[in-house]
Structure 1
Amino acid sequence: MSHAAQAYARTSQTTAPPREIEAQALLKAARQLQDVQTNWAGPNKNMHNALLFNRRLWTIFMSAAETDDNPQPLEIRQNIANLALFVMQRTIEIQLNPDPTKLKSLIDINCNLAAGLAGRG
């Protein structure tokens, strides 16, 4: 077997299903936000980085929900888009008026959606 084929075989064995990858990304974002909330030091680089990671993640979800080739039913896609809009609005609120209690809703959304993706919700 060629070197490239061996590398592909290793990668294909370790690649998780898309739902699991999405769940893990949501949990990573939730952990970062939780860390900021738990160790609140005001608006600092950790807060900025956690909000940025979460916003980028939700931008990906929103973009995927809006594509015509998305296999999910329209209602689910609309729900994802609505959640993404809420996340964006809450992120702006936190950036304009930093408050650790405002992070809870973002953490809860991420954890609940991750649980649903992993079949635990």
Structure 2
Amino acid sequence: MYKQAAQAYQKASQTAVSPRELEANLLMKAAARLQLIKDEWEESSFAEKDEALTYNRRLWTVLVTSATDKDNPLPQEIKNNLGSLGIFVFKQTMAVLTDPTPEKLATLISINRMIAEGLRSQPE
């Protein structure tokens, strides 16, 4: 599935959308999926919950790997911050999986939305 996420990311990045806009769109898509699970917690199956969390985790894996790459021109401080945020996202994902409650999704949803908004508000 990681390969599929990476391929989708590469394919989408080849369109006319800027890389920042693509990242923002993918983060918003992940946030929307998590929000749906949160809103329909009781009706959602474990598989649906796991799928939404897996999508988000894989997206963050791609984002963090790309952002922290030695060839990425981002300043080191931003790379470090994104790496730390990624670790937090992974830990929060594990917290949801080990003790599932819909309230725990709020943090992941909020992070995705805030980062997406930041990507859209910054000049390229």
TM value normalised by structure 1:
0.84
Structure 1 distance, partners of 2:70, 2:98, is 34
Any residues of structure 2 matched to 1:66-77 within 5 Å, and which?
66-77=68-79
Q: Deviations over 1:58-92 (max 9, x none)?
A: 00111112211001000111111011000000101
Larger radius of gyration: 1
Unaligned runs of 5+ in 2: 1-11
Q: CA deviation at 1:102?
A: 0.3
Distance 2:99 2:110 in 1: 20
2:38 is matched with 37
CA–CA distance in 2 between the matches of 1:116 and 1:60? Answer: 18
The aligned counterpart of 1:23 is: 24
Q: Does the Cα contact within 8 Å between 1:43 and 1:98 map onto a contact in 2?
A: no
Q: Which amino acid aligns with 2:37?
A: V
Count of matched residue pairs: 110
Aligned to 1:46: 48
Query: Aligned Cα RMSD in Å?
Result: 2.0
Please list every run of at least 4 consecutive aligned residues from structure 1 whose deviation after the TM superposition is greater than 2 angstroms: none
Using the TM superposition, give the Cα deviation of residue 14 of structure 1 relative to its aligned residue in structure 2, in angstroms: 4.8
Gaps of 5+ in 1: 1-10
SS in 1 for 2:71: coil
1:65–1:78: 8 Å Cα contact kept in structure 2? no
Going from structure 1 to structure 2, the CA distance change for 1:57 and 1:14 (only over 3 Å counts) comes to closer
Offset from partner CA, 1:91-110 (integer Å, 9 cap, x none)? 01111110100000000000
Q: Which residue of 2 aligns with 1:57?
A: 59
